[in-house]
Amino acid sequence: MAATKDPRPCSIADALAVVGEKYSLLVLREVCLGNGRFDQLVRNIGAPRDVLAARLRRLVDAGLLTKRAYQERPQRFEYRATRAGLDLEPVLMSLMAWGDRHVRGGDDRPMVIEHSCGSELLPVVTCAACGGEVHHEDLTAHPQVPGWTVKGPTAA
Amino acid sequence: MAATKDPRPCSIADALAVVGEKYSLLVLREVCLGNGRFDQLVRNIGAPRDVLAARLRRLVDAGLLTKRAYQERPQRFEYRATRAGLDLEPVLMSLMAWGDRHVRGGDDRPMVIEHSCGSELLPVVTCAACGGEVHHEDLTAHPQVPGWTVKGPTAA
DNA sequence: AGGCGAGGGTTTGTTTTTCCAACCCACAGG
DNA sequence: CCTGTGGGTTGGAAAAACAAACCCTCGCCT
């Protein structure tokens, strides 16, 4: 099962193997917002309960969420984001900004985020080295794995 | 079909409705890398051909890709990213960085990106207003739609 | 003591998707 | 004529998603 397939090795694919299934990123969104209870997740996301249960198991196994009892008797649980999960929030913010711009029209955003600096968050992806914004035009890819160049598989 | 469900209105969900299906973001990755031909996509992504064809149709319809002939006789096509598609690349870069860190161990990255400033790209999401990095701790959400607070649906 | 409701799921049966392999078409080269 | 490449489509089996119902524990009300 590892010889007949052979996609490009890539951390985007690896990331999506963890959070790429339907609803997973919405679970992260809700948990980051503070809505970590099962029925809140069901209502706010609109996912079937069984699918949601499967996603939660997966995200806990992958170390993005933890499940903790917020009370005993009757036992009730809550999901919380780990550091790995919280670190996805900036990615979600840029995805949200993209959705605001290119899926909705840029108008009537359903959610506005406030940054601790006091202003409304407009997330931009920048280069840590120079501080400049990151655009497609400024990027050059360097695959590190032999056989995987940037213009298709080397041979064949 | 709009009364019995009622998930939180959100641009993350809207964005995922466009690029959230399996393989869609990998298609974007390959096209941004310059691999826009059908069989390159099949090989580099590892997706079934029929699923890939469906994703390409969807992404073209959604305005993220265009399909253009790069030669007549025999007619051969190539997919290219529109501005909307290219604008997703920074998001992919932050997702890749997250995958590097939290899925792989931070070592042996399969792909390194060079920024036009000359150094290796380490993407960070920043606030356009203050320039500071965006972390979960610095964010406060303000839903704009009545009935959708940040702590679960208002009532019930 | 009986009934109701919340919270957090699991079970069951049906509908969609995914997956895989095979096939098709146009043309180019030998 | 036969083979190979590019870009798909088709058909049937396997896997997911979906919806509704069900289960269990407990707290509260009467």
Distance CA A15, CA A12 (A): 5
What are the φ and ψ backbone dihedral angles of A80, each rounded to 5 degrees? -130, 155
Q: What is the CA radius of gyration of chain A?
A: 19
Helix (H, G, I), strand (E, B) or coil at A68: strand
In this structure, which amino acid lies at residue A39?
D
In whole angstroms, how far apart are CA A24 and each of B69, B82, B102, B132?
A: 37, 27, 16, 28
CB atoms within 10 A of CB A85: 24
Q: How confident is the model at residue A153 (pLDDT cuts 50, 70, 90)?
A: low
Distance, CA of B52 to C1' of D10, in Å: 15
Q: Is B119 on the interface with A (CB under 8 A)?
A: yes
Strand C neighbors by CB, 7 A = A 4-5, 37-40, 49-50, 53, 56, 67, 70, 74, 76-78; B 21-23, 47-51, 54, 73-74, 156
User: In the prediction, which pLDDT does A155 show?
Assistant: 44
Mean pLDDT of B13-30: 98
User: Is A153 in contact with B43 (Cβ distance < 8 A)?
Assistant: yes
Alpha helices for A34-146 (secondary structure H): 38-45, 49-61, 83-86, 89-102
Could you report the per-residue pLDDT of A63-120, keeping only the tens digit for each? 999 999 999 888 999 999 999 999 999 999 999 999 999 999 978 999 999 999 999 9
Mean pLDDT of A36-45: 98
Mean pLDDT of B119-132: 98
Distance CA B93, CA B136 (A): 19
Query: Which residue approaches C20 most closely, CA to C1'?
Result: B48
User: In this structure, what is the dihedral angle of CA atoms A130, B100, A97, B5, given to the nearest 10 degrees?
Assistant: -170
**How much of chain A exceeds pLDDT 90, in percent?**
89
Q: How confident is the model at residue B44 (pLDDT cuts 50, 70, 90)?
A: very high
Structure tokens at B113: 């990106």
Distance, CA of A72 to C1' of C1, in Å: 25
Could you report the per-residue pLDDT of B77-108, keeping only the tens digit for each? 999 999 999 999 999 999 999 999 999 997 89
User: In this structure, what is the dihedral angle of CA atoms A114, A98, B92, A64, given to the nearest 10 degrees?
Assistant: 50
**Mean pLDDT, chain A, integer:** 94
**Mean pLDDT, chain B, integer:** 94
User: In the prediction, which pLDDT does A152 show?
Assistant: 59
Instruction: Provide, as residue numbers in chain B, all residues whose Cβ is less than 8 Å from the Cβ of A152.
Output: 35, 37, 40, 43-44
User: Is B129 in contact with A115 (Cβ distance < 8 A)?
Assistant: yes
Reply yes or no on whether the pLDDT at A3 is more than 60. Answer: no
Closest CA to B140 of A83, A34, A27, A66: A34
The single-letter DSSP state of residue B148 is: B
Reply yes or no on whether the pLDDT at B14 is more than 60. Answer: yes
Query: Which residue ranges make up each domain of chain B?
Result: 11-87
Q: Say which residue, B115 or A6, is predicted with more confidence.
A: B115
Reply yes or no on whether the pLDDT at A2 is more than 50. Answer: no
Reply yes or no on whether the pLDDT at B37 is more than 60. Answer: yes
Reply yes or no on whether the pLDDT at B42 is more than 90. Answer: yes
Distance, CA of A61 to C1' of C3, in Å: 39
User: In the prediction, which pLDDT does B148 show?
Assistant: 94
Could you report the per-residue pLDDT of A115-136, keeping only the tens digit for each? 999 999 999 999 999 999 999 9
Kindly provide the b/e burial profile for residues B58-86, where b requires at least 16 CB atoms within 10 angstroms of the residue's own CB. bbeebebbeeeeeeeeeeeebbebeebbb
**A38 closest-nt by C1' vs CA:** C8
Closest CA to A89 of B122, B139, B150: B139
User: In the prediction, which pLDDT does B1 show?
Assistant: 36
Contact at 8 Å (CB) between B111 and B105?
A: no
User: Is A13 in contact with B26 (Cβ distance < 8 A)?
Assistant: yes
Query: Which residue approaches D18 most closely, CA to C1'?
Result: A48
User: Is B12 in contact with A95 (Cβ distance < 8 A)?
Assistant: yes
Could you report the per-residue pLDDT of B49-83, keeping only the tens digit for each? 999 999 999 999 999 999 999 998 899 999 999 99
Distance CA B72, CA A119 (A): 53
**How much of chain B exceeds pLDDT 70, in percent?**
94
Closest CA to B91 of A42, A93, A75: A93
Which CATH code of 3.30.499.10, 1.10.3810.10, 1.10.10.10, 3.40.50.10860 fits the domain covering A11-87?
1.10.10.10
